[in-house]
Amino acid sequence: MILIVGGAGYIGAHINKILNKNGYETLVFDNLSYGHEEFVKWGAFENGDLGNIEDIRRIFRNYPITAVLHFAAFTYVGESVEDPQKYYRNNVCNTLNLLQVMLEFGIKRIVFSSTCATYGNPVEIPITENHIQNPINPYGRGKLMVENILSDYSEAYNLKYVSLRYFNAAGADPDTEIGEEHNPETHLIPLVLDAASGKRKNINIFGTDYSTEDGTCIRDYIHVTDLADAHLKALKYLENGGSSDYFNLGNGSGFSVKEVIEEAKKITGKEIVAVETERRAGDPPILVGSSEKIRSVLNWEPKYSDLSVIIETAWKWHEKNND
């Protein structure tokens, strides 16, 4: 049985679906602080908190866990700057609790959600896994700390891990069973779709004076179902005796904020009012990752990489959810 920590969230729920479709039994462990119980449509569910080590022990005592996928983390970069304690306690200390109990029960396989934010401001595009990791906020630093902890645990305790450094996860389950749902929402694509549906008056473009072709920031958007498939492959890799490793998880191509808005206009057929505003603090102009390594080592191939497909699936979910 696979333990999905944080499996009631946007990304964890998509992975739960793909694992079940591929014959795995799963258990979602989530404290529902940001997750949604209605997203746990497959496998078993236990409400519990990584901050409480007894909650974790109870899970490992009661279920035949063979591997762990860990998604439970706070993800608001701005908030991590204002309240770093919240981020280090949850994203780092609570992960130590999880690892401790895994070792107590002799479970030695984990797939960890890391982020391109561990690289900080890129000095080279596309970003490869060898790019210097110099995060510029507590969110990225906490994720890098866990990457380093995993590496030390791998050496010392023979724990096998795969860290996946996500670029911009986006889109929704093509069957619209689950989708993106954050409160508050800060991500570009769901906000653009809110502006299309009239839920919001407009979309703010944060900065039009970046050193990019149209002046707006460029990001590497990866469909959440492709991202889920990478986790399935990472899990199988560990089950087949693969050694500890880390991979970028992006498409390898970038789109600007303006391009995203234009594409959303086409797909939704709606007017979208865009308001040009100041830059948002901490946004690098371009974040595009090389996905060569994951393609060659894990044999991963994205199927939904077109921006149009990403926005289409997000829009289908958005419409269903608004009904």
Segment interacting with ligand UFG, rule: CB under 6 A, options 7-15, 153-161, 187-195, 290-298: 187-195
C-alpha 181/C-alpha 193 separation (Å) is: 12
Kindly state the smallest distance separating residue 56's Cβ from ligand UFG, in Å.
24
Cα end-to-end span (Å), the chain: 35
* Distance (Å) of CA 213 to CA 123, 218, 258, 276: 18, 9, 10, 16
Kindly state the smallest distance separating residue 196's Cβ from ligand UFG, in Å.
13
Q: Using the Cα atoms of residue 91, residue 240, residue 39 and residue 295 in order, give the sign of their dihedral.
A: positive
Catalytically active residues, by annotation? 139
Under rule CB under 6 A, residue 77 binds ligand UFG: yes
Kindly state the smallest distance separating residue 304's Cβ from ligand UFG, in Å.
17
Under rule CB under 6 A, residue 235 binds ligand UFG: no
From 139, 246, 300, 315, residue interacting with ligand UFG (rule: CB under 6 A): 139
From 4, 19, 117, 298, residue interacting with ligand UFG (rule: CB under 6 A): 117
The residue count for binding ligand UFG (CB under 6 A) is 21
Under rule CB under 6 A, residue 62 binds ligand UFG: no
64: preceding bond cis by omega (within 30 degrees): no
Pairing mode, if any, of strands 2-5 and 245-249? unpaired
Under rule CB under 6 A, residue 186 binds ligand UFG: yes
Provide the token pair at 257: 């904020």
Kindly state the smallest distance separating residue 220's Cβ from ligand UFG, in Å.
9
Q: Report how far Cα 271 is from the mean position of its chain's Cα atoms.
A: 29
Instruction: Yes or no: say if 40 and 80 are a contact pair by the CB < 8 Å rule.
Output: no
From 59, 116, 127, 159, residue interacting with ligand UFG (rule: CB under 6 A): 116
Strand partners, 28: 4, 45
Under rule CB under 6 A, residue 206 binds ligand UFG: yes
Segment interacting with ligand UFG, rule: CB under 6 A, options 6-14, 121-129, 227-235, 279-287: 279-287
From 26, 114, 168, 268, residue interacting with ligand UFG (rule: CB under 6 A): 168
C-alpha 268/C-alpha 279 separation (Å) is: 26
Under rule CB under 6 A, residue 115 binds ligand UFG: yes
Supply the angle between the helices 307-322 and 257-268 in degrees, to the nearest 10.
60
Instruction: Yes or no: say if 305 and 253 are a contact pair by the CB < 8 Å rule.
Output: yes
Segment interacting with ligand UFG, rule: CB under 6 A, options 147-155, 183-191, 246-254, 312-320: 183-191
Kindly state the smallest distance separating residue 97's Cβ from ligand UFG, in Å.
22
Under rule CB under 6 A, residue 257 binds ligand UFG: yes
Kindly state the smallest distance separating residue 272's Cβ from ligand UFG, in Å.
12
Looking at the Cβ atoms of 101 and 257, the one nearer to ligand UFG is 257
Q: For Cα atoms 159, 47, 112, give the angle at the middle one, nearest 5 degrees.
A: 30
Pairing mode, if any, of strands 44-47 and 203-206? unpaired
Looking at the Cβ atoms of 25 and 129, the one nearer to ligand UFG is 129
Kindly state the smallest distance separating residue 171's Cβ from ligand UFG, in Å.
12
**Half-sphere exposure at residue 265, Cβ-oriented, CA atoms within 13 angstroms:** 11
The 3-state DSSP class for residue 219 equals strand
Instruction: Yes or no: say if 235 and 300 are a contact pair by the CB < 8 Å rule.
Output: no
Site of interaction with ligand UFG (CB under 6 A): 75, 77, 115-117, 139, 168, 186-188, 191, 203-206, 217, 219, 257, 280, 283, 287
